Structure 1
Amino acid sequence: MSFINNWRRSSKKNVSKKDAMQAQDIPDGPDSPSRLSVINSPELDPIITDFRLELPGNNDGLETTNPSNGCSRSDLSLALEDCMTALDLFLRNHFEEAQAQLRCRTKESMYHALTYATILEMQAMMTFDPQHILAAGNTMKEAQAICQRQRKKSSFSKGFTEEELHAEVCYAECLLQRAALTFLQDENMISFIKGGIKVRNSYQTYKELHTVLQSSGYTHGDNHGHFEGGVKLGVGAFNLMISMLPTRTLKLLEFVGFSGNKEFGLQQLLEGSVESTFRSFLCNMLLLCYHTFMSFILGTGEGDVEDAEKLLQPYLKKYPKGSIFLFFAGRIEEIKGNWML
């Protein structure tokens, strides 16, 4: 059962104790439920607006540590800081050092596990080596299991802790990245179906988290920026990608619950890229891919080279020898026809 339904059920004051049921995790299958229809809909469910994030700063006498996963606010903040340091090493081409810094905590920290798997996935996508793709897929699956253990498991408590919300967005990100690897790994119908199931579950979770952010009852935690950036990454990516599909395919996807708005997707990714958060780099990379590759491959002709240059310049200034950014710089010059540089 979707975690948003647990939230709705727990908010009803007249529910009896004997009718409270144990919440089930979002399954890695085709039947992950969601009652939200449009990802960027301004209308909010009146029950959802009663949501209250359980943070130590609230006046309900809540403990700093979440007993379900033993993670406190300071633990989450330190984990994010450590992962951003490792990501900085990776962008400076210190690949082994970045992985070594993350590897020691991949079995206990959802952000260490996710960052480590993301680095391996970027390596796999750059090399297209079957062994790299397989290793990245297995590592991402392990990261998803770490996130699963830290997600909300009980419907008896009211609301979600900050760590549980971060676990949800990390879980959705793992599903999305695993889907991408599934499509890369084997181009057959079974892989397509498996990848589609992961995409659908990830999409549903991002929709629900976006509604949480829009809720008047949502309280900003210490790491709100990182959580919001994660939601913007997922919501922006789905809106952009779905909107670029052929009309027939888009109508079919809308029939089964998907929807996409290109302008809204670009806006979400741009907002996520300008903030100094854990996922700002990924938002930036998606925008660069759109402007320099996807718009040309799909023949939409809507890529903006000037926007791509503006997005790339701050990173080239900070990482002048970063291989990823030099690659995009070369691609921009190729588009402009500067072959002799």
Structure 2
Amino acid sequence: MYHALTYATILEMQAMMTFDPQHILVAGNTMKEAQAICQRHRKKSSFSKTFTEEELHAEVCYAECLLQRAALTFLQDENMISFIKGGIKVRNSYQTYKELHTVLQSSGYTHGDNHGHFEGGVKLGVGAFNLMISMLPTRTLKLLEFVGFSGNKEFGLQQLQEGSVESTFRSFLCNMLLLCYHTFMSFILGTGEGDVEDAEKLLEPYLKKYPKGSIFLFFAGRIEEIKGNLDAAIMRFEECCEAQQQWKQFHHMCYWELMWCFTYKRHWKMAYFYADLLSKENSWSKATYAYMKAAYLSMLTKDDCLTFGETALTLFRQVPGLKQKIAGKSLPTEKFAIRKARRYLAENPVPLPAPPLEMMYIWNGYTVIGKHKDLTEGMLKTLDEAQAQLERSEFSIDDQCLLSLLKGLCLKHLGHHEEAEHYFTLVLCNETQIKYDHYLVPNALLEHGLLCLQQGRKDDAIKLLETCNRVTLFTVYPMIH
């Protein structure tokens, strides 16, 4: 069972990184075979409430197979039938993990020779489900609760933490999930509340044992990046690329992070270089890569752009035609890029003000630069320059409000709270005049509320955040939920 599941999991990891239809098909068939092996060893009678040790292992492996097959189903087909099939697999997996957790807590549960591996599997599944469900938007969470799902972030983290310290088959996966939470999920789906020190402790033993391990070098780079140590992060990501050549997808993950590191440093040419590499080698989101290339070129002079053989205008106009779907859905970052790029379809387009800095906000990049005064001051200077270049047009209010929101963020991180509050309020005062970028209002409310919370003004914070919750146009920023 474990051999079949492990082999299928490796193939699934490859499929998830490449999105190659053939890789997805092979991984799906292999996972189906692994599930069939687990099925043969599961408990035959539903009347008996006791499990043999082999049956317990079969159940937890079966639940893993179901969950991984569901993920592949979402990737493989975009139709509603596939979506329903995948949803059923997820629910069956969730229910199996719940039942196994109940067995684990029962007085009748006895330790077998390999009980640690079984318990580790349950902690991995229960922890992962609780953590992921708890981080979903409130509306989605309410819908999932209606059909029997529930999620508690603290309980999920506790289960994964317990699973990570035991020497079992799943301890590595528990560690990787915790690292993903502290370094990625908490930034993309939250406000950057991950524990960097905990992430460093989790990673340290692996990095010592496997100093050239690509995945460990990648996480080491990400940790340095979110600490704001950009030069150290760049060095780690470059080491990761040099460590192996077989799985280019690891290189692409590094290119994405390197692109952002150079964005934070305002090295637009180097940021463009990595966006260009991604656009040529990776198929995750061609529209996003083209948008980022155009965004970086828009920050350069015309003479500087000549050396790249492309223009920002041409690239922006390509973006809408590069739209694609994953699991039947368009990526939020792609939707955003397409919406912004449409401005350039006009005969005489009005330029976007500092587009890399806006996309940086969508990816919670100001939490990174906010840790270093020089990076934040540099970004504030770029925003001032962008404001000086604003043209009077139908986009004037939207552009001014965008720059106000981003300036407010920089000033908040620099400790200039009154000025930051002024800029957040400026966005709210212009709410009725914003024509296109309606996401600015809920985000200004959110940032203002978080600032009040930071200052200990709890009542003001609650009022602002409740108002933010009532606004329905959160089409972009995932941490509002």
Query: Which TM bucket (shorter chain)?
Result: 0.5 to 0.7
In the other structure, the counterpart of 2:70 is 179
Name the CA shift for 1:312/1:186 in 2 (closer, same or farther; >3 Å).
Answer: farther
Q: Which runs of 4+ in 1 moved over 6 A?
A: none
1:282-293 → structure 2 map (5 Å cutoff): 282-293=173-184
- Judged with a 3 Å threshold, the aligned counterparts in structure 2 of structure 1 residues 307 and 122 are, in CA distance, closer, same or farther, namely same
Aligned to 1:315: 206
The count of corresponding residues between Structure 1 and Structure 2 is 232
**C-alpha displacement at 1:195, in angstroms?**
1.6
Equivalent in 84, 97, 115 of residue 6 of structure 2: 115
In the other structure, the counterpart of 2:61 is 170
Higher mean C-alpha displacement, 157-166 vs 112-121: 157-166
Q: Which of 96, 101, 107 is the aligned partner of 1:216? A: 107
- Aligned identity (percent) is 97
Name which of 71, 83, 86 aligns with 1:195: 86
Question: Which structure would you say has the larger RCO, counting Cα contacts within 8 Å and 6 or more residues apart?
Answer: 1
Separation in structure 2 between the aligned mates of residue 221 and residue 309 of structure 1, nearest angstrom? 34
* One-letter identity of the residue aligned with 1:339: L
- Mapped to 2, the partners of 1:251 and 1:158 lie a distance apart of 32
CA distance in 1, matches of 2:68, 2:89: 9
Q: Aligned to 1:238, which of 129, 136, 141?
A: 129
Match among 194, 206, 210 for residue 303 of structure 1: 194
Q: Which amino acid aligns with 1:144?
A: Q
Change (3 A) 1:186 1:312: farther
Rounded to whole Å, the distance in 1 between the matches of 2:82 and 2:198 is 35
Give the partner amino acid of 2:164: S
What corresponds to 2:219 in structure 1? Answer: 328
Match of 1:152 among 43, 55, 60: 43
Q: Gapped runs of 5+ residues in structure 1?
A: 1-109
Scaled by the length of structure 1, what TM-score is found?
0.65
1:157 Cα shift? 5.9
How far is the alpha carbon of 1:120 from its aligned partner? 1.1
Q: Report the CA distance between 1:136 and its aligned residue.
A: 1.2
In structure 2, do the counterparts of structure 1 residues 125 and 193 end up closer, same or farther at CA, with 3 Å as the change threshold? same
Cα distance in 2 between the residues matched to 1:141 and 1:300: 38
Query: Structure 1, residues 94-152: CA drift from partner, whole Å, max 9, x if none?
Result: xxxxxxxxxxxxxxxx1110011111112222333332222111111110011011111
- Structure 2 residue 10 is the aligned partner of structure 1 residue 128: no
**RMSD of aligned Cα (Å):** 1.6
* Corresponding position of 2:160: 269
Cα distance 1:145–1:296, how it changes in 2: closer, same or farther (>3 A)? Answer: same
SS at match of 1:328: helix
Q: Deviations over 1:39-85 (max 9, x none)?
A: xxxxxxxxxxxxxxxxxxxxxxxxxxxxxxxxxxxxxxxxxxxxxxx
Inter-partner Cα distance in structure 2 for 1:185 and 1:272: 31
Structure 1 equivalent of residue 312 of structure 2: none
Deviation at 1:158, TM superposition (A): 6.5
Q: Distance in 2 between matches of 1:157 and 1:188?
A: 39
Q: Give deviations 1:17-40, integer Å, cap 9, x for gaps.
A: xxxxxxxxxxxxxxxxxxxxxxxx
Taking the aligned partners of 2:128 and 2:85, their CA distance within structure 1 comes to: 19
Please report how far the alpha carbon of residue 337 of structure 1 lies from its aligned counterpart in structure 2 after TM superposition: 2.8
**Alignment partners' CA distance in 2, 1:121 and 1:246:** 27
Alignment of 1:8-87 (within 5 A): none
Q: Report deviation, 1:241.
A: 0.6
Secondary structure at the counterpart of residue 119 of structure 2: helix
Q: Which moved more, 1:165-174 or 1:301-310?
A: 301-310
AA partner of residue 315 (structure 1): Y
CA shift, 1:308, in A, is 1.2
Please, which of 148, 160, 169 is the counterpart of residue 278 of structure 1? 169
Q: Distance in 2 between matches of 1:265 and 1:216?
A: 23
Equivalent position of 2:96 in the other structure: 205
Distance 1:125 1:326, change over 3 A: farther
In the alignment, structure 2 segments of 5+ residues that lack a partner are: 236-481
| Distance in 2 of aligned mates of 1:186 and 1:327 | 30
1:251 is the counterpart of 2:145: no
Q: Is the counterpart of residue 339 in structure 1 residue 230 in structure 2?
A: yes
d(CA) in 2 for partners of 1:194, 1:229: 27
Higher helix share: 2
Q: For residue 269 of structure 1, report the CA deviation from its aligned partner.
A: 0.3
Q: In the superposition, relative to structure 1, how do residues 300 and 175 fare at CA in structure 2: closer, same or farther (>3 Å)?
A: farther
Q: Tell me which amino acid in the other structure corresponds to 1:304.
A: D
C-alpha distance in 2 between matches for 1:249 and 1:158: 34
Closer, same or farther: CA 337–129 of 1 in aligned 2, 3 Å? farther
Structure 2 counterpart of 1:332, one-letter code: I
Question: 1:278, 1:138 → 2: CA distance?
Answer: 23
Q: Which of structures 1 and 2 has the bigger CA Rg?
A: 2
| Cα offset, 1:190, TM superposition | 3.1
- Partners in 2 of 1:308 and 1:192 — Cα distance? 34
SS at match of 1:231: helix
Q: What residue identity is the alignment partner of 2:187?
A: F
